[in-house]
Amino acid sequence: MATILLLSGPNLNLLGEREPEVYGTATLADLVEVATRTAVARGHDLEHLQSNHEGSLIDAIHAARGRCAAIIVNPGAFTHYAHAIGDALAAYDGVKIELHLSNPHAREPWRHRSVVSSTVTGVIAGFGAGGYRLAVEAVADRLAE
């Protein structure tokens, strides 16, 4: 059994209320439940942290080193400018998945650039709530290799 860390960035605590036409009606608790159930079904444990503060997410990435086998991160708006999160992920040796509910490339031009993507194993975007299951499945598959 491996531990997977799921990190949720700023404003994701408002899921279900904030722009449901973009992000859907599922709450963050709903998405964490999907991820947890998927992880358990694949024989893994899942921990979750949501923060609106960049430093808290960086601290969690640092604390995952040597303790967690993988990190799934939905950095929210930090995706586009939080180089420090990208640096922290680059220093983490496990499997890393960048996750987005919507497809940033189908949205406003400022959302097209990710400072996180170059540091991760893969990116899952645009599949809504189903992306959380897909991210955990991708991690479990990588860990099984």
Q: What pLDDT sits at residue 57?
A: 98
- Which residue in 23, 44, 48, 132 is the catalytic one? 23
Q: Is 132 a catalytic residue?
A: no
Domain ranges of the chain: 3-144
- Contact between 2 and 103 under an 8 Å Cβ cutoff? The reply is no
Q: How high is the mean pLDDT in each 10-residue block of the chain (145 residues)? A: 97 85 83 98 98 98 98 94 96 97 73 87 95 98 96
81 is catalytic: no
Q: What beta strand segments (E) does 9-74 contain? A: 45-50, 70-74
Q: Decide: pTM greater than 0.85.
A: yes
The pLDDT, as a whole number, for residue 20 is 67
Give 59-71 pLDDT, tens digit per residue. 999 999 999 999 9
Q: How far apart are CA 19 and CA 21, in angstroms?
A: 5
The answer to whether 138 touches 122, Cβ cutoff 8 Å, is: yes
Query: Which residue among the candidates 44, 48, 92, 100 is catalytic per the annotation?
Result: 100
- The CATH H-level superfamily of 3-144 is Dehydroquinase, class II (3.40.50.9100)
